[in-house]
Structure 1
Amino acid sequence: MEITKLYESWCKNAVEDQDLIAELESIRGNEKEIYERFYTALKFGTAGLRGVIGVGTNRMNIYVVRQATQGLANYVINKYGKGAVAISHDSRIKADLFMIEAAKVLAANGIKTYITTELQPTPVLSYLVRYFKCQAGIMVTASHNPAKYNGYKAYGEDGCQMTDNAAQAVYDEITKLDIFSDVKTMDFDEAIEKGLIEYVDDSVYDSYLDCVLEQQVNPGICADADISVVYTPLNGAGNKLVRKVLSKIGVKEINVVKEQEMPDGNFTTCPYPNPEIKEALQKGLELCEEKQPDLLLATDPDSDRVGIAVKDYDGSYRLITGNEDGVMLTNYILSCKKANGTLPEKPVVVKTIVSTKLINKLCEKYDCELKNVLTGFKYIGEVILNLEKKGEENRYLFGFEESYGYLSGTYVRDKDAVVASMLICEMTAYYKKQGKSLAEVIDGLYEEFGYYLNQTFAFEFEGAEGMQKMADLMSSTRENLPASVGKYKVVKVSDYQLKKETDLVTGEVEQLTLPTSNVIALHLEGDNGVIIRPSGTEPKIKLYITAVGTDKVNAIAVCDEIVAASKQLLGL
């Protein structure tokens, strides 16, 4: 439909949300603003939907949410005949409204829907899908994006985010629908009365917490070690459950950052609420200076990821990377379970291909199988599912990704900042009883295995022209593979789109079994490496650099050389 006609159609039909009515009127006659909102539609993918809140097909609003949910309903009915769906939300602007609107569409299609009475962490939604044996799940969140964004994560019956095939099937259904005339909806109170929409009982959250508590490695150690914590939920969904689980394991002193304690989708004190960046943790770090805790914990708005800072040798607070936290947690779980005799036979640890290779050394030390998967926690969930099918789920110990996502246990199929926060506190207490800080622990691992420095760099390519440039860059790299990056020889190339791995030393070629993905990994001598991939959610090319040195200074020098050579190689 021509954009002006599309705009007029919205003016005529979008009459239920006063904010949208006002926005439509405010852009009347402004071709640029109208174009920006209507030139395309948000595409439904494995991460569901994500976009700026506002009016139009290229924005997050009740009509886009309804249309997507009708597509999901059609998919569920086509595949299962009937079904059930669980829905929750975080603290995002209009998140509770979008949850209700999605529930009304599902109910109108005869699909039983379970909704939460208040905001909940994303892993709880994954748990609800499995608990109620649903065929799908919806989490209304935009993760760590700025306040103007909202989103809609879709889950399959296994509690993992949707696979490529399932997401494509839902998208195909969505594209058949007129956003106004082809979407069913019903009165919310009527749906409640008919039992088509049901609120989740508090006892279900208690059962989720019981599953989290089962992942303790050394129960009672937090009370014995008397640790203190500064915690910030970054105005998101983690506040209640993280504090509750920490209290249950014996953390007596939990100092919460007051400005970031309560849900607030405006994120006024952390405009980019991402625990990966220092600015988001600034308020927490300020409180650390006052309280002098053992640990700073920060969970992102939907509480599936957690960042930490620990006291350094000079009394300041050191930010710990996602890779470092993942390595320490893996080491803690493996070493303690081996010592207390609870390490299963043939234990399994899972990491994404862009996460640190230091974990390889740890797994070798403990004779643990390491599985590498593509970026996206659903692939870690898939490993758990495959183990479960063989009756071997107890072999799974831990999974993590460099972007601060961790999971111990098989009760959910997504990263979980609640269980990660618990284990981080337990780990802190364990080493405190030995007279060690976590700064000393990670430095000790570097001394034992080598200093593995991992850095991620992102390069933006805006608009349609930018997307083409990204595609050309990946094709050019694939067709002109380098013999070296700087002074470091390329010894192996893994191409996840061509699904082959070539050993440049022996000439041997192996087939890769992971799903097809537009990713190229250059393995360099000395265990160094460069991974190149387009972002799945943003118009960016990402470089993941691994630099190995004898110490931090040496590793930084190695990293700088590899980064400079990689940028020159790719023309960035």
Structure 2
Amino acid sequence: MTNTQELYTRWLSQPDLDDAIKAELVSVAGDNDAIADRFYRDLAFGTGGLRGVIGAGTNRMNLYIVRKATQGLADYLNASGLPKKVAIAHDSRHNGELFARETARVLAANGITAYVYPRLEPTPALSWAVRYLGCGAGVCVTASHNPAKYNGYKVYGADGCQITLEAAEKILAAIEKIDCFDGVKLADYDKALADGSIVMIGDKCLDDFVQAVYDQRVGDGAGIDALKLVYTPLNGTGLECVKKLLAKLGVTHVTVVPEQEKPDGDFPTCPYPNPEIREAMQKGLELCDTVKPDILLGTDPDCDRCGVEDGITFPQEE
């Protein structure tokens, strides 16, 4: 079925269709261009997994597309010799917790144990959990540093790295066989938690991750107690792990950019939350005028990209 109007009609006619999805579809009734944009293709799946605008349709990120991708991943794992365990994390983006939960439900229904971080955590912490827990794969629900309207679904291999091209092709082949409404197995989330098919990742996993990062430090740390630092997580996931690591390192003079401290999928102060561009770091730079730190540090929403400004100079005070 390739006709966009037929796909639109089929989605809209689904019993128990998600309310938000249904409302969006109803809102574009009669708008052929809007319907075509949502249904003219499936989101591309590759080595970076899925990434797209949040919304209704096959060309959007929504719970049905996430379920379909996860069913494909489950079929791939069950046909392989890899461990039947998957670690799952999400960042601060809209629907991140929902998509992580749906991922766990599909995996559990397919006989694969889903290990889920109980709160948002960085992508590197997900990579760590894959290896730490002996998983066959990992999923991080994130769109990295893209604008707020996006979300994504990154898949990681048993080594904690993004999947290879060969693995991506096999997972895609499995995904393409699945109907997103009729071909997906779903477990009851609470029952799966009770029977151990879904497991919350304990704090020790994250603490051991921070310790492992700390163990990579260089130098003897002399003078680090005098370092002044301004940090921004850009309303993403970095705050918990970065603060834990800085404390271990002995960095005590830390000022967090208040407007960008708490998780917020709207990213209200930086429409493009990439710490490599000045616009995203502007609030931090403004705070530096007051704090006068040695370093300004920023991380993107899933905390796998870092921006640093050192050697910051300020006008001499009279």
* TM-score relative to the length of structure 1: 0.54
Q: Which residue of 2 aligns with 1:175?
A: 176
Give the counterpart letter for 1:182 in structure 2: G
CA drift at 1:14: 6.7
Q: d(CA) in 2 for partners of 1:171 and 1:215?
A: 36
- Equivalent AA in structure 2 for residue 119 of structure 1: L
Once the two structures are TM-superposed, the CA of residue 60 in structure 1 deviates from its matched residue by 0.1
In the alignment, which residue of structure 2 is the partner of 1:434? none
The structure in which a higher percent of residues are strand is 1
Query: C-alpha deviations, 1:60-115, integer Å up to 9, x for none?
Result: 00000000000000000011276100000000100010000000000000001100
Q: How does 1:358-437 map to 2 (within 5 A)?
A: none
Deviation for aligned residue 1:248: 1.5
Partner of residue 130, structure 1: 131
- The aligned residue for residue 262 of structure 2 is 262
- Give per-residue Cα distances to partners, 1:486-519, cap 9 Å, x unaligned: xxxxxxxxxxxxxxxxxxxxxxxxxxxxxxxxxx
- CA contact 1:93–1:265 (8 Å) conserved in 2: yes
Tell me the TM-score normalised to structure 2 length. Answer: 0.96
Aligned to 2:69: 68
- In 1, Cα distance between equivalents of 2:79 and 2:129: 22
1:28 aligns with 2:29: yes
- The amino acid of 2:3's aligned partner reads E
Which residue number corresponds to residue 42 of structure 2? 41
CA gap 1:222/1:65 in 2 versus in 1, 3 angstroms: farther
Q: Which amino acid aligns with 1:288?
A: C
Over alpha carbons, which structure has the higher Rg? Answer: 1
State the SS of the aligned residue for 1:254.
strand
Corresponding position of 1:145? 146
> What CA distance in whole angstroms lies between the structure 1 residues aligned with 2:43 and 2:16?
21
- The aligned runs of 1:119-518 (5 Å cut-off) are 119-224=120-225, 226-312=226-312, 315=315
How many residues align structurally? 315
Matched residue type, 2:202: D
Q: Which runs of 5+ in 2 are unaligned?
A: none
1:313/1:79 CA distance change after superposition, 3 Å: same
What is the letter of the counterpart of residue 285 of structure 2? L
Q: Distance in 2 between matches of 1:55 and 1:108?
A: 24
CA contact (8 A) 1:51 1:150 kept: yes
Q: In the alignment, is the contact (CA less than 8 A) between 2:289 and 2:314 conserved in 1?
A: no
2:83·2:134 contact (CA, 8 Å) conserved in 1? no
CA 263–83 in structure 1, closer or farther in 2 if over 3 Å, else same:
same
User: Deviation of residue 17 (structure 1)?
Assistant: 2.4
- Residue 43 of structure 2: SS of its match in structure 1? coil
Q: Percent identity?
A: 52
Question: Structure 1 residue 219: deviation in Å?
Answer: 3.7
Q: Indicate the structure whose relative CO is greater, using CA pairs within 8 Å and at least 6 residues apart.
A: 2
**Contiguous gaps of at least 5 residues in structure 1:** 317-572
| Deviations 1:18-61, CA, capped at 9 Å, x for gaps | 21111011011110000000000001100000000000000000
2:11 aligned residue = 10
Write the deviation string for residues 344-387 of structure 1: whole angstroms up to 9, x where unpaired. xxxxxxxxxxxxxxxxxxxxxxxxxxxxxxxxxxxxxxxxxxxx
| Alpha-carbon distance in structure 1 between the residues aligned to 2:35 and 2:123 | 33
**1:379-401 CA distance string (max 9 Å, x none):** xxxxxxxxxxxxxxxxxxxxxxx
What's the offset of the Cα at 1:308? 1.0
> 8 Å contact 2:231–2:256 — kept in the other structure?
yes
Tell which deviates more after alignment, 42-51 or 15-24: 15-24
